[in-house]
Homo-oligomer: A and B are copies of this chain.
Amino acid sequence: MTIKQTQILEAALHLFSEEGYHATSTSKVAKHANVSEGLIFRHFQNKEGLLSALLEEGKQCLKTVFVPIVNEEDPKQVIQKTLDLPFEITEIAHGYWKLLFKLKVEQRYDDRELMKPLDQALTKAFMKLRFRSPELETQNLILTLDGITMSILNETLNNESEFKQFLMNKYHIEI
């Protein structure tokens, strides 16, 4: 992985996740990456290949982000950490999270496999907390996560911490 390759991936991640895959031209990526347009194709075959590379990276990155959640024993912590996801501190994971969301809408790309560990961790947590329908609770929470992500992308979520607190209370968790 050369420096330029990384530059391309970074530029593409930023642009794809902010403006969308279709709305981002390869020339724009090249310009933002300070790289010749041809190089993109040398390294990633075509635009879709670039996206795939990004997705592969994204999956790896997010998997590691999920690790602390999956390994968490305290069910309340599992939920709290999950709710923190879209606000994730690390710039890079944040970018992948947004990218995956954008793709879900733009390309109907939905990676079940990736989310499965999180899914299972949540279901386990809800079971431990003796919720009546752990699977449905999980489904609901993950789906709410999408809603939050969209609000963040649109910059219409202007009461973050308050809203997070509210959700926590819903699950009888105090911070």
What residues of chain A have their CB less than 8 Å away from a CB belonging to chain B? Answer: 20, 22-23, 101-102, 104-106, 108, 110, 133, 136, 139-140, 142-148, 150-151, 153-156, 159, 162-163, 166-167, 170
Contacts and interface: CB of A to CB of B under 8 A. Distances in A.
A106 B22 CA distance: 10
Given A102-B105, A105-B105, A154-B110, A143 B139 contact: no
A136 to B, nearest CB: 4
A136 B163 contact: yes
A102 B22 CA distance: 13
15 contacts: A20-B105, A22-B22, A104-B150, A105-B105, A105-B106, A105-B153, A108-B155, A110-B154, A136-B162, A136-B166, A140-B167, A140-B170, A143-B144, A143-B151, A146-B146
Contacts of A104: 150, 154
